[in-house]
Amino acid sequence: MPRRLPYRDELRTWREFLETVEALRTELAARLQRDTGLSPSDYAVLLALSEADGHRLRSSDLAVACGWERSRLSHHLARMERRGLIRREECVTDSRGAEVVLDSTGADTFRNATMPHLTAVRELFVDALTPEQLAAAGDIAAALRSRLG
């Protein structure tokens, strides 16, 4: 019967991967907050809305786009709404639902945050890898995502 548990070297690689991803996420989050006043969660919501038709999404679709539970999204949207970044409106096609709309302040905030954030992504991720390593990282990410369904 083949061994089903990872070997020591495989576990070392796994741990290195996890620790590196967490360190990268932590540094990107710190820079985003420092440079733009946005959290990574704010940025994820603003990004999804900026890419949506009419800069609006049903709450349920936004939750899927962000990969969040609906309750987490609801609480976060309330905070963003108080800051004037988004607004919630009744859905015209379904009275049971609500749509989240990117407000002009939110659009400006997102636009102003994009350059500093993408600069940090380039510095911390893209520039740390050779073109071959970057391509391999993309292949690895795609394989992992595919495995997760």
Predicted confidence (pLDDT) per residue in 21-66, tens digit: 999 999 999 999 999 999 999 999 999 999 999 999 999 999 999 9
How many whole angstroms separate alpha carbon 69 and alpha carbon 35?
28
CA distance 31 to 62: 24
pLDDT at position 52: 96
Name all domains of the chain by residue range, CATH numbers in brackets. 9-148 (1.10.10.10)
The pTM assigned to this predicted structure is 0.87
Check whether 2 has a pLDDT greater than 80. no
**Interatomic CA distance for residues 100 and 96, integer angstroms:** 14
pLDDT at 7: 94
Name which of 75, 83, 74 is nearest 106 in CA terms: 83
Q: CA Rg, the chain, in Å?
A: 19
* Nearest alpha carbon to residue 100 among 109, 92, 90, 108: 90
For 110-149, how does the pLDDT look when each residue is reduced to its tens digit (9 = 90+)?
Answer: 999 999 999 999 999 999 999 999 999 999 999 999 999 8
- What does each C-alpha distance from 61 to 2, 35, 80 come to in angstroms? 42, 29, 17
- Cβ atoms 137, 129 nearer than 8 A: yes
Who wins on pLDDT, 14 or 92?
14
Contact 59, 99 (CB under 8 A): yes
Distance of alpha carbon 25 from alpha carbon 93, whole angstroms = 38
pLDDT at 149: 85
